[in-house]
Amino acid sequence: GAVVSQHPSWVICKSGTSVKIECRSLDFQATTMFWYRQFPKQSLMLMATSNEGSKATYEQGVEKDKFLINHASLTLSTLTVTSAHPEDSSFYICSARDVGTGEADTQYFGPGTRLTVL
Amino acid sequence: GQNIDQPTEMTATEGAIVQINCTYQTSGFNGLFWYQQHAGEAPTFLSYNVLDGLEEKGRFSSFLSRSKGYSYLLLKELQMKDSASYLCAVMDSNYQLIWGAGTKLIIKP
């Protein structure tokens, strides 16, 4: 149980284009999903917390107009990187909180999306 | 401020035992998590501790002392596939996860 999928696994795009990444909880409902970014050999950096049916909460320094988050259902959250630039190239990972398990508030991670902007 | 400390890198021998320590200072405490992350992959959940003591799951065990702000992850009978980064994370009073930088574990034959 507690499986989270992400699509696509990797994407290469030209500078200036927009990229949408999907995060799905496959076997549980997630009222809260999280979006992280991880640069090589660095720790996870939380970008935003996505709550179903409401606006996402962005961490300091993360541009909400550049990283659009939509959490339209209990099993799907999307991150759109708008007008991507080479500095946005990174490993984007989503996680979903399964409040139904005995291990309260455990976050389960999707496999990640590697974005390369040329 | 909130802080999670764990060693940057550790080396151990296949078949041996290794202990990865984590100390934390956070605003509130709602549990401590350990995750394993192989290079180029997303983290996978290993353990969760919210009460003091030792939690055992097969070859992996995790210990917590809330009064000392301390946890460790114990890996027994090390296998080459255990080579990975191990991330310690604490859930604070706002139910936000505060992440350590991770400990890179290198297993040698």
pLDDT digits (tens, 9 = 90+) for A5-15: 999 999 999 99
Mention every residue, 6+ apart, whose C-beta is less than 8 A from residue B35.
A109, B43, B44, B45, B46, B86, B87, B89
% of residues, chain B, pLDDT over 90? 83
- Whether B97 sits inside 8 A of A46 (CB atoms) is yes
pLDDT of residue A74: 87
Mutate to test the interface with B, among A103, A113, A114, A116 (most CBs of B within 10 A): A103
pLDDT of residue A95: 93
CB pairs under 8 A between A and B: 46
- Nearest in space to B63 (alpha carbons), one of B50, B78, B76: B50
pLDDT digits (tens, 9 = 90+) for B34-83: 999 998 899 998 999 999 999 998 999 999 999 999 999 999 999 999 99
Per-residue pLDDT band at B104 (split at 50, 70, 90): very high
Q: How far is the alpha carbon of B45 from chain A, nearest alpha carbon, in Å?
A: 7
Spell out which residues of chain A touch residue B100, defining contact as CB-CB under 8 Å: 43
* Mean pLDDT, all residues of chain B: 94
Q: Between vectors from CA A66 to CA A55 and to CA A16, what angle results, nearest 5°? A: 150
Tell me, yes or no, if B49 comes closer than 8 A to chain A by beta carbon: no
Q: Between vectors from CA A46 to CA B88 and to CA B89, what angle results, nearest 5°? A: 15
Q: Tell me: pLDDT of A103 over 70.
A: no
Q: How far is the alpha carbon of B72 from chain A, nearest alpha carbon, in Å?
A: 18
